[in-house]
Amino acid sequence: MRTQNESDREKGTDNEEPRKAAGFEVLAAERDEVIILFPTKFFMLGISVLIMIISIICWIGTYWAWEFFVWSVFSMLSIGLIIFLPEYFSNIINVVIHLCYWIAFSIFVLVRLITIIIKKGEVQDALKKMPPAQREAEQAIADRVFPYWIGCTCAILPLAILVTFLMFRFFFFFYKNR
Protein backbone atom coordinates (compact mmCIF):
# COMPACT_ATOMS: atom_id res chain seq x y z
CA MET A 1 0.00 0.00 0.00
CA ARG A 2 1.27 3.45 -0.88
CA THR A 3 1.42 6.37 1.47
CA GLN A 4 -0.02 9.75 0.64
CA ASN A 5 3.45 11.21 0.09
CA GLU A 6 4.40 8.52 -2.48
CA SER A 7 1.19 9.13 -4.43
CA ASP A 8 1.75 12.88 -4.35
CA ARG A 9 5.32 12.51 -5.62
CA GLU A 10 4.15 10.48 -8.60
CA LYS A 11 1.55 13.14 -9.46
CA GLY A 12 4.10 15.88 -9.06
CA THR A 13 2.44 17.52 -6.09
CA ASP A 14 3.86 17.53 -2.64
CA ASN A 15 1.57 18.46 0.22
CA GLU A 16 4.23 17.96 2.86
CA GLU A 17 5.34 21.16 4.53
CA PRO A 18 9.05 21.87 4.49
CA ARG A 19 10.79 20.72 7.64
CA LYS A 20 11.69 23.54 10.00
CA ALA A 21 15.15 23.60 11.52
CA ALA A 22 15.54 23.27 15.25
CA GLY A 23 17.62 25.77 17.18
CA PHE A 24 20.94 23.91 17.21
CA GLU A 25 20.76 22.60 13.63
CA VAL A 26 22.21 25.86 12.41
CA LEU A 27 25.38 25.11 14.40
CA ALA A 28 26.12 21.79 12.69
CA ALA A 29 29.35 21.94 10.70
CA GLU A 30 31.64 19.58 8.84
CA ARG A 31 35.30 19.33 9.75
CA ASP A 32 36.18 21.00 6.45
CA GLU A 33 33.76 23.91 6.72
CA VAL A 34 35.68 27.15 6.19
CA ILE A 35 35.65 29.78 8.92
CA ILE A 36 37.22 33.03 7.72
CA LEU A 37 40.23 31.59 5.80
CA PHE A 38 40.79 28.02 6.96
CA PRO A 39 38.73 24.89 7.60
CA THR A 40 37.46 24.42 11.14
CA LYS A 41 39.79 21.51 11.78
CA PHE A 42 42.85 23.73 11.29
CA PHE A 43 41.47 26.35 13.66
CA MET A 44 41.06 23.62 16.25
CA LEU A 45 44.62 22.40 15.66
CA GLY A 46 45.94 25.95 15.93
CA ILE A 47 44.07 26.52 19.18
CA SER A 48 45.42 23.23 20.54
CA VAL A 49 48.98 24.26 19.66
CA LEU A 50 48.38 27.64 21.30
CA ILE A 51 47.07 25.91 24.45
CA MET A 52 50.20 23.75 24.48
CA ILE A 53 52.49 26.78 24.12
CA ILE A 54 50.69 28.59 26.94
CA SER A 55 50.91 25.51 29.16
CA ILE A 56 54.66 25.19 28.47
CA ILE A 57 55.11 28.85 29.41
CA CYS A 58 53.12 28.25 32.58
CA TRP A 59 55.21 25.18 33.39
CA ILE A 60 58.45 27.11 32.86
CA GLY A 61 57.20 30.03 34.95
CA THR A 62 56.07 27.82 37.83
CA TYR A 63 57.72 24.43 37.84
CA TRP A 64 54.86 22.73 39.69
CA ALA A 65 52.16 23.79 37.19
CA TRP A 66 52.76 20.82 34.91
CA GLU A 67 49.18 19.51 34.80
CA PHE A 68 48.17 21.93 32.04
CA PHE A 69 50.96 20.52 29.89
CA VAL A 70 49.71 16.95 30.27
CA TRP A 71 46.16 17.95 29.35
CA SER A 72 47.34 20.04 26.41
CA VAL A 73 49.44 17.20 24.98
CA PHE A 74 46.44 14.90 25.00
CA SER A 75 44.20 17.61 23.60
CA MET A 76 46.55 18.20 20.69
CA LEU A 77 46.78 14.47 20.07
CA SER A 78 43.00 14.17 20.02
CA ILE A 79 42.67 16.97 17.47
CA GLY A 80 45.56 15.49 15.46
CA LEU A 81 43.80 12.13 15.30
CA ILE A 82 40.65 13.75 13.94
CA ILE A 83 42.57 15.77 11.34
CA PHE A 84 45.25 13.38 10.16
CA LEU A 85 43.38 10.06 10.46
CA PRO A 86 39.80 11.01 9.56
CA GLU A 87 38.94 7.57 8.21
CA TYR A 88 39.38 6.14 11.72
CA PHE A 89 38.60 9.03 14.05
CA SER A 90 35.92 11.07 12.28
CA ASN A 91 32.88 9.08 13.19
CA ILE A 92 30.18 9.88 15.71
CA ILE A 93 31.55 7.67 18.50
CA ASN A 94 35.04 9.15 18.37
CA VAL A 95 33.71 12.68 18.07
CA VAL A 96 31.60 12.10 21.20
CA ILE A 97 34.68 10.79 23.04
CA HIS A 98 36.72 13.83 21.98
CA LEU A 99 33.84 16.16 22.87
CA CYS A 100 33.68 14.63 26.36
CA TYR A 101 37.44 15.04 26.69
CA TRP A 102 37.27 18.73 25.78
CA ILE A 103 34.35 19.29 28.15
CA ALA A 104 36.38 17.62 30.93
CA PHE A 105 39.42 19.75 30.03
CA SER A 106 37.35 22.96 30.16
CA ILE A 107 35.90 21.97 33.53
CA PHE A 108 39.38 21.08 34.82
CA VAL A 109 40.75 24.49 33.82
CA LEU A 110 37.77 26.27 35.41
CA VAL A 111 38.18 24.30 38.66
CA ARG A 112 41.92 25.00 38.65
CA LEU A 113 41.25 28.72 38.25
CA ILE A 114 38.86 28.68 41.21
CA THR A 115 41.30 26.73 43.39
CA ILE A 116 44.18 29.05 42.45
CA ILE A 117 42.14 32.09 43.44
CA ILE A 118 41.17 30.45 46.73
CA LYS A 119 44.78 29.42 47.37
CA LYS A 120 45.95 32.97 46.69
CA GLY A 121 43.61 34.24 49.39
CA GLU A 122 44.87 31.61 51.84
CA VAL A 123 48.50 32.51 51.09
CA GLN A 124 47.77 36.22 51.63
CA ASP A 125 46.22 35.41 55.01
CA ALA A 126 49.19 33.23 55.97
CA LEU A 127 51.64 35.95 54.92
CA LYS A 128 50.03 38.43 57.32
CA LYS A 129 50.86 36.13 60.24
CA MET A 130 54.57 35.72 59.34
CA PRO A 131 57.48 37.78 60.68
CA PRO A 132 58.47 40.67 58.38
CA ALA A 133 61.75 39.17 57.11
CA GLN A 134 60.17 35.88 56.12
CA ARG A 135 57.07 37.64 54.78
CA GLU A 136 59.07 39.54 52.14
CA ALA A 137 60.68 36.38 50.77
CA GLU A 138 57.39 34.48 50.68
CA GLN A 139 55.59 37.50 49.19
CA ALA A 140 58.15 37.64 46.35
CA ILE A 141 57.51 33.97 45.52
CA ALA A 142 53.74 34.42 45.69
CA ASP A 143 53.92 37.54 43.51
CA ARG A 144 55.80 35.54 40.88
CA VAL A 145 53.77 32.34 40.95
CA PHE A 146 50.15 33.46 41.12
CA PRO A 147 50.17 35.82 38.11
CA TYR A 148 51.55 32.99 35.95
CA TRP A 149 48.94 30.57 37.16
CA ILE A 150 46.02 32.95 36.89
CA GLY A 151 47.20 34.39 33.57
CA CYS A 152 47.79 31.01 31.95
CA THR A 153 44.54 29.63 33.28
CA CYS A 154 42.56 32.66 32.10
CA ALA A 155 44.18 32.32 28.66
CA ILE A 156 43.59 28.57 28.37
CA LEU A 157 39.97 28.58 29.56
CA PRO A 158 38.36 30.54 26.68
CA LEU A 159 40.44 28.62 24.14
CA ALA A 160 39.33 25.28 25.60
CA ILE A 161 35.70 26.44 25.59
CA LEU A 162 36.06 27.51 21.94
CA VAL A 163 37.43 24.12 20.90
CA THR A 164 34.63 22.46 22.90
CA PHE A 165 32.10 24.51 20.95
CA LEU A 166 33.71 23.53 17.64
CA MET A 167 33.72 19.86 18.70
CA PHE A 168 30.03 20.22 19.54
CA ARG A 169 29.47 21.48 16.01
CA PHE A 170 31.20 18.37 14.63
CA PHE A 171 29.19 16.11 16.89
CA PHE A 172 25.94 17.75 15.90
CA PHE A 173 26.82 17.41 12.22
CA PHE A 174 27.40 13.67 12.67
CA TYR A 175 24.22 13.36 14.72
CA LYS A 176 22.16 15.23 12.14
CA ASN A 177 23.51 13.13 9.26
CA ARG A 178 23.40 9.72 10.94
* pLDDT (tens digit per residue) in 67-104: 778 888 888 888 888 778 877 777 778 878 888 888 88
pTM, rounded to two decimals: 0.68
Tell me the domain boundaries of the chain: 36-176
The Cα-based distances of 105 to 34, 70, 92, 109 in angstroms read 25, 11, 20, 6
CA-wise closest residue to 86 among 20, 32, 158:
32
Digit-coded pLDDT (tens) for 112-165: 888 888 888 888 888 788 887 787 777 777 777 777 777 777 888 888 888 888
